[in-house]
Amino acid sequence: MSIESEFLDFSAEKILQLASRIEDCLSKLTAEQIWLRHSDNENAVGNLVLHLCGNVRQWIISGAGGTPYIRKRDGEFAARGGVSGAELQERLRETVNEAAQVLRSLPHSRLAATVSIQGFNGSILGAIYHCVEHFSMHTGQIIFATKLFTGADLGYYAHLRNPSHGQKTP
């Protein structure tokens, strides 16, 4: 497998894995918990999910894939409810599946192409790397919030408790 294929496949698998964890978190939270903010300086879990959908659509689907998209970024943070956990799950799943398809079909020659996204100029490879890193950061916030709200061990690394797990840590 080429390094380009490895990068694109890993990126697709990583956002799919992280999205599944967010979906799991959403299934454990009440509507109130999904939209809870303690101050205007905080984002609710629901806002973070809307933000991730907008970011992935802008950076990967549009930026790397070339699909036209007009983002309403401020609206991602302005929302104070009105979208159920199930609807957030579906929006995230659709967005990430579409992004994974873009990544898996992206010609390797396009990775070095220059794009301008949100006023930043750089390569498509850099845009993908930024987006996956950004997705990971907000997934961690959502996992942390879910643990705070539920007090539960979400079990994503339970296999590490078994000394003979022999699996690669995801």
Mean pLDDT of successive 10-residue stretches along the chain, which has 170 residues = 97 98 98 96 96 98 94 93 97 98 98 95 98 98 98 89 66
Q: Which domains does the chain have, with CATH numbers?
A: 3-161 (1.20.120.450)
Residue 58: per-residue pLDDT = 97
Residue 166: per-residue pLDDT = 62
Secondary structure (3-state) at 83: coil
Residue 158: per-residue pLDDT = 83
The dihedrals phi and psi of 76, each to the nearest 5 degrees, come to: -65, -35
- Residue type at 86 in one-letter notation: A
Q: Answer whether 0.75 is exceeded by the pTM.
A: yes
Listing DSSP states for 89-111 in one string gives HHHHHHHHHHHHHHHHH--GGGT
Residue 168: per-residue pLDDT = 61
Partnered with residue 123 across adjacent β-strands are 114
Partnered with residue 122 across adjacent β-strands are 115
Residue 170: per-residue pLDDT = 58
Partnered with residue 115 across adjacent β-strands are 122
